Structure 1
Amino acid sequence: MAFHEVRFPDNIGRGARGGPERRTQIVELASGDEERNASWANSRRRYDVAYGIRRADDLAAVVAFFEARNGRLHGFRFKDWSDYKSSAPSQSPGPLDQPIGTGNGSITSFALMKRYSSSSQTWTRAITKPVAGSLRVALGGAEQTSGWSVDTTTGVVTFDTAPGAGVTITAGFEFDVPVRFDSDTLDVTLDVERLGSITSIPLLEIRR
């Protein structure tokens, strides 16, 4: 099993359906009350990209991509058009978008994260597949155009010199979702005009 640092075709992925999934256990008591427990600490995303196929060429591209990944064996990148950047959908990523750590004078590496907040509740998502060339970084509110690098295969930002104690580190970026096919079969249908379709092409987020 390996991860291929290649992205599923954007023009097909743009028509996908899907989003985050959580796993919650609900027990109904004899009184009618409920007890709810979260089985997963983090969400996991599912998609169906069959809705993005509009032409026979799209179908051929998906079949080729599927074969090159050996079905479910190898993971790959997917652009979730509904959630692919650190900023609001109407804005471009900026260096102050997301806090990713606070300096202590010795740590040089910090993992990219995205926070989802509503009222007083916040959930933090690890970002492991930033898009190359999209990252902007700031120290204490001042953008840094050099002195750092990012590993686009892990989402870890490394500074040449450790940020000073108490310095807030923020970042803005675009990112992909690490996924795999969730089926080893593509059920292809061809009509009289040789146009094709696939009923369902499920993708599942890879969590490590």
Structure 2
Amino acid sequence: MASFSDERFPLAVAFGASGGPERRTEIVRLSSGHEVRNGRHRHSWRRFDAASGVRSLSDLRAVVEFFEARRGRLVAFRFRDPLDWRSSGEGRLATPTDQPIGVGDGARHTFQLAKTYGAGADAYVRPIGKPVPGTVQVAVDGVDLMGSGFAVDARTGVVTLDLAPKAGAAVTAGFEFDVPVRFDTDAIQVSVQAFEAGEIPSIPLVEVRP
């Protein structure tokens, strides 16, 4: 069985999920009182609890069915982060100049989709590996390629241009994307009576690097 499924977690439940990015930071306090801080990982990863998105027994059944099809923690899948799922800012549609993904050198054809958070030296560049098929737009030096002249690998987020951009040409992209996650439990405890009384089972999800 494949370790990753391109099927997306039920959208109606995902949009009500809670969670977000997580990092691991080691902190050592010196005898002087100063701290030395070290990030253990280059990239953050995301954790979610989809329980808050379950509004009905129908939602709960859909999640249980999805859980069974993924064999619990065995198979990862696509999940739409309710807060962060496209290249553009809040309330704006994606455009081909949203995010820088590389600079041409006259020979290079491939560029990794990415999203930048912040600006300047402190900016964090997050690789995007699960773009939503059909949503990726690309521009070279600000000129929209209008959906042609490039291909996108929806499994990795790598964009391949038919023609290598000239040296110094900015390559940008706009897109929607999912987060690759898996269930972080091998059991979902369901009680219809408890659910109807307002008790919702925990449905933990954690980002993976497929």
Please give the TM-score of this superposition, normalised by the length of structure 2: 0.93
Equivalent position of 1:207 in the other structure: 209
Could you say what secondary structure the match of 2:118 adopts? strand
Runs of 4+ in 1 over 6 A off after TM superposition: 192-196
Letter in 2 for 1:148: F
- The residue type equivalent to 2:109 in the other structure is T
1:56, 1:195 within 8 Å by CA — same for their partners in 2?
no
- SS state at 1:191 partner: helix
Partners of 1:59 and 1:197 within 8 A in 2: no
State the Cα RMSD in Å.
1.7
Distance (Å, rounded) in 2 between the aligned partners of 1:121 and 1:54: 40
| Structure 1: stretches of 5+ with no match in the other structure | none
Q: Give yes or no for the alignment of 1:169 onto 2:150.
A: no
Aligned ranges for residues 1-208 of structure 1 at < 5 Å?
A: 2-118=3-119, 120-145=121-146, 146-191=148-193, 198-208=200-210
Q: Describe the SS at the equivalent of 1:62.
A: helix
Once the two structures are aligned, what percentage of the paired residues are identical?
Answer: 51
Q: Secondary structure at the match of 1:37?
A: strand
Counterpart-to-counterpart distance in 1, 2:206 and 2:195: 32
Q: Contact 2:130/2:177 (CA < 8 Å) preserved in 1?
A: yes
1:134-185 deviations in Å (ceiling 9; x for gaps): 1111011010021111111110111112112221100000100000001101
**Displacement of 1:118:** 5.0
Residue 22 of structure 1 aligns with an amino acid whose one-letter code is R
C-alpha spacing 1:163/1:193, structure 2 compared with 1 (3 Å): closer
Aligned residues: 208
- In the aligned structure 2, how far is the partner of 1:197 from the partner of 1:60? 15
Cα distance, 1:194–1:159 mapped onto 2, change above 3 Å:
same
Return the structure number with greater strand share. Answer: 1
- 8 Å CA contact retained: 2:194, 2:200: no
Report the AA paired with residue 126 of structure 1.
P
- Aligned partners of 1:13 and 1:78 also within 8 Å: yes
CA distance in 1, matches of 2:115, 2:124: 8
**Contact 1:136–1:144 (8 Å) recurs in 2:** yes
CA gap of 1:189–1:82, structure 2 versus 1, over 3 A, is same
Give me the whole-angstrom Cα distance separating, in 1, the residues matched to 2:94 and 2:122.
Answer: 23
Give the whole-Å Cα distance in 2 for the aligned partners of 1:140 and 1:98.
Answer: 12
Task: Give 1:101 shift.
Answer: 0.8
Please, which runs of 5 or more residues in structure 2 have no aligned partner? none
